[in-house]
Amino acid sequence: MARAKRSSPPAPAEPAAAQTVPETGGTLTVDLAAIESNWRALARRLLAADCAAVVKADAYGLGLKPVVARLAQAGCKTFFVADLAEARAVRSRARDVTIYVLDGFTPQWGDGLIDIDARPVINSTTELAEWDAFVSARAWQGGAALHVDTGMHRLGITPEEAAALAPRAQTENHGIAMLMSHLACAETPDHPLNAKQIALFRELHLLYPGIPASLANSSGIFLGNSAHFDLARPGAALYGVNPTPRQANPMQSVVELTGRILQLRSVERDDTVGYAATWTAKRPSRIAVAALGYADGLMRGGSGTDDRPGGAAIVAGKRCPIVGRISMDLVCIDVTELPDGAVHRGDSAVLIGGEIPIDEVAAAAGTIGYEVLTRLGARCHLVYRGA
């Protein structure tokens, strides 16, 4: 009788929990459903204009590809990026959308733009001449946006140049897919430059009949119908930054940044914490040290010192101040006010999210929410909620 073959015992399965344990100190959670909700809320404010999405800088640091996929599925038809590489990433996730490249045209990008059917934003008459020569040589009918500087004084052709080019819009195959400009002070609704830019852009648009126009950014949407034209281009508001800084934020929070608490330690009165001894305990204190630092996007400007308060964290459900300098990998949090036993090694501290909105974190660091967002996630464990 033949002996049955003996099989090797199966390797033990890795526990499910072990498969999902972050291997980093910090975790960045991005709520894709909130991004979609913010886009829909902005679109509802546009009575006669379409709503695009600005996804440059890797969707403000939150992941261009998943953000584009979610917004395209929601119905967004137009995306704005900074460069050709970002345009390729958009096209890989959204086949039937229009893509505008804000950094404009360079002959070295030409074939790549054709390859993915993306449109450059023409920012000077030199670029326009190069673009015209390129599309003529390639016999390509791809369009471009014409960017007019109405007061930002950064990129764009002058109003005089725009007026001189206007007869081109009456010719066949003129190649101008959109006329656009950029508001400089939309976050300040009563700034006189807003009305000046809107009026000038309206006058120029009249010279380009039949060509769609775009002026409003996130905050520009809240200036009213006069700023909306045919297409609005929200960016930061999609990701939870307040487009109306003087009022309550109408957008949903999108990100949560948490750090694992590595150690709880006691310091005596007059002891100092962190580099350069910039914070001194004014009483016997308990300090939680969390595994997050400026390498994770937690900006050093949010440090708490003897001279000024810094940012805050939510620990065990309570707001606690950041003390001492935020270093590359660590942040110290004063948890003295928490009851004994309320916090333990291995718990999480919330540095952004919930009761600590992105704009508060930015203000504590002396900057804006845009900069904070684009610095997040380089090293953190990344989680997409609602994917």
* Residues assigned a catalytic role: 56, 275
Which residues face 318 on adjacent strands? 315
Amino acid of residue 350: V
| Number of helical H runs and strand E runs in the chain | 12, 19
The backbone torsions φ and ψ at residue 304, rounded to the nearest 5 degrees and listed phi first, read: -100, 130
Task: Give dist(CA 290, CA 263) in Å, integer.
Answer: 7
Q: What angle do CA 202, 207, 212 make, to 5 degrees?
A: 65
Which ranges of 75-191 does DSSP label H, i.e. alpha helix?
A: 84-93, 110-116, 125-138, 159-165
Task: Report CA 73 to chain centroid distance, whole Å.
Answer: 19
Distance CA 164, CA 131 (A): 18
CA atoms of 309 and 135, how far apart (whole Å): 57
Phi, psi angle pair for 381, to nearest 5°: -70, 125
- What letters, b where the CB count within 10 A reaches 16 and e where it falls short, cover 134-171? bbeeeeeebbbbbbbbbbbeebbbebebbeebbeebee
